[in-house]
Amino acid sequence: MKRNILYLAGALLSSAILMLSCSEDLPTYSELTVNKTDIFIQADGQNPKETVNITSGNGNYKLDIADDNIATATIEGNSVIINGLHNGETTITITDWTKHSAVINVKVKEDFELKTDKEEITLFLNDEKKNTALINITSGNGGYKVESSNEQVATAELNDNNQILITALSSDFCDVILTDADGNKTTIKVGVCENYLVLEETVGKVCVVNQTLSVGIISGNDNYSVVSENPEIATAQIVDEGVEISGISKGEANFTITDRMKQTSTFKVKVSGGFDINVTHIDTVYIIKDYDRIQTIPIIDGSGSYEINAGGSIECTLSEDKSEFILKGIDSKMARNQKITIKDLIFDETREISVDWVDYDFYNDYGIARYYIAGEYVKITDSDFQDDSANGRVRIRVGTGRTFAIGTKGKVKNGYLVGFSNETGYEPGVKDPNNLVLAKITATGADGAVSKITELEIVKRKIEEGRGADDGQYWIKFKEEGRDEWSYIVTWL
């Protein structure tokens, strides 16, 4: 028994010695600690970085950043370099190879300029669509507050979308002040109008030199003022809730009117001395074909508003800039002794221009004469009066075939003859002599189709100076039986 006890004691002693020897070989590990666990970085400052030192740890460090949109970090030896990027909060976890770790709490701040999408607004009490306004906050630092400098004029409040709702209550001015969490402030200027500034229409209005013209104020907000940008042409003043313009000299003047709520309206007025053109007579208004050649009547002075009557053969229009009248003969509507009447509707003054001829420009365009019968044109180079005693008439020879039948005096081929009685003859100014006919001459020189005509006129055509010799042109005008339009012949003797 005694021997067993000794063995047991020896075994225990040996075990203790062995355990003591093993504990001396085990390594020891440090906790991972840092000198700062909470940091703040001003992202838009001069140095948006912060350094955190690892005060104890076991090396081979790794970083885990919860949100690298807010901050980034790198390891440099036993230091963690943290770079702040954008507003917000995140964490950075440092872990060593022994799985010991430490957490750094990071808060990043950016200072944003406080801005809104509008700095000034105008509201209208009597317009349901414009008696409120929504203002967007385009940048800032959160924690917004808004107030009105005069809630009797307009109120201001923030909605759920961080927009400022401004509501008009009475006509005047006030400020809406927006403040953010950093104490930054911005101001929105608010004007509340009772009415829009509306003036009487001035298009077509003309002021006469040394006279006055009134332009009415239809609506606005009182306390009006007006400024002329061209006082050498016209001045203006407010008279009885309207604008009184005084004409000084011919021209065009611009004006700006302003009301109590700083609303403005601009308008212009022409100042004129009356209706004046320097043309009273035109020899020929030409029917222009195939190219753009026009005749004009310059307007020396006038209102710009006119009534024009040029008859059925002349087209007379006002130019786009209202500086001249444009004339053009109407195709197929040759005429003589026409009249253009132009009335200035503002000045109630009328001018008349007489026109001798409405015709094609045969000298320049064709070099020949022409006739017009029943809507058809034929160019001719010669014509003549002819004795047609057998039929009791004198006739005028026109047409494309002007050769006389051999041995037959007074006959033509392939032309037209205007015939009238030998007894009565043709007397200028007498429009309906007896036995007045239009005869088609055949290729043999015989009369073909004959039709009665009325209202015959034969007038010697005036040749304008510089446009050729006076070689005996005559203007022949008549109506064919059963037709309302005029037929014309220009012929040479």
Mind listing the pLDDT tens digit for each residue in 126-136? 999 999 999 99
What is d(CA 112, CA 130) in angstroms, rounded to the nearest whole number? 31
Binning pLDDT at 50, 70 and 90, where does residue 384 land? very low
| Whether CATH 2.60.40.1080 fits 198-272 | yes
Span 467-485, pLDDT tens digits: 445 445 556 667 777 766 6
**CATH number assigned to the domain covering 33-109:** 2.60.40.1080
390: region left, alpha or beta (phi > 0 left; psi from -120 to 50 alpha): alpha
Give me the CATH topology for the region 115-193.
Immunoglobulin-like (2.60.40)
Q: How far is CA 437 from the centre of its chain?
A: 61
Tokens of 58: 């076991």
What is the pLDDT, as a whole number, of residue 204? 76
Binning pLDDT at 50, 70 and 90, where does residue 317 land? very high
- Say yes or no: do domains 198-272 and 276-359 share a fold: yes
- In three-state secondary structure terms, 14 is helix
As a whole-number percent, the residues of the chain with pLDDT over 90 amount to: 51
Span 418-467, pLDDT tens digits: 555 555 444 444 445 555 666 665 656 566 666 777 777 665 555 555 54
Domain boundaries, the chain: 33-109, 115-193, 198-272, 276-359, 370-492
At the second CATH level, the architecture of 276-359 is: Sandwich (2.60)
Tokens of 163: 């927009």
Span 234-292, pLDDT tens digits: 999 999 889 999 999 999 999 999 999 999 999 999 999 999 999 999 988 888 765 56
Residues 371-395: what's their mean pLDDT? 44
What is the pLDDT, as a whole number, of residue 73? 94
Q: How many CB atoms lie within 10 A of CB 62?
A: 11
Overall pTM > 0.75: no
Contacts within 8 Å (CB) and 24+ apart, 179-182: 179/114, 179/144, 179/145, 179/146, 180/112, 180/114, 180/140, 180/141, 180/142, 180/143, 180/144, 181/141, 181/142, 181/143, 181/144, 182/111, 182/141
Rg of the chain over all Cα atoms, to the nearest angstrom = 52
Binning pLDDT at 50, 70 and 90, where does residue 493 land? very low
As a whole-number percent, the residues of the chain with pLDDT over 70 amount to: 69
Tokens of 281: 């007579």
Higher pLDDT: 489 or 183? It is: 183
